[in-house]
A = this chain, B = another copy of it.
């Protein structure tokens, strides 16, 4: 299993709409990528103000998901909730 974590670093002067992220953006990404859901975090202490963790069966499954037609909609929707440039982390889930 592969985890794709998208982490939004706290950034001076930046905004982040947590409600839109939870109610609109992450559901859109899940719909486009064919996922049942994702874990969404609202930062309390630490370098990130928000994060999401998606799971894919394999690297191939993740790459196929990223290549679908709706991908542009997902990317274009980012401007609707934040000005932060996120950090992406792809990891193998080992336990």
Q: Is the Cβ of B92 less than 8 Å from the Cβ of A47?
A: no
Question: By the criterion of a CB under 8 Å from any partner CB, how many residues of chain A are at the interface?
Answer: 31
Give this chain's copy count. Answer: 2
Q: Please name the residue on chain B nearest to A18 by beta carbon.
A: B94
**With an 8 A cutoff between CB atoms, is A40 at the interface?**
yes
Complex CA–CA separation, A43 to B47 (angstroms): 18
**With an 8 A cutoff between CB atoms, is A16 at the interface?**
no
Q: Is the Cβ of B87 less than 8 Å from the Cβ of A41?
A: no
Which A residues form the contact surface with B (CB < 8 A)?
2-3, 5, 18, 22, 26, 37-48, 50-51, 53, 59, 87-95
15 residue pairs of the A-B complex, CB under 8 angstroms, read A2-B44, A3-B41, A18-B94, A26-B95, A38-B95, A39-B93, A41-B93, A42-B94, A43-B90, A45-B90, A46-B87, A46-B89, A46-B90, A47-B87, A51-B89
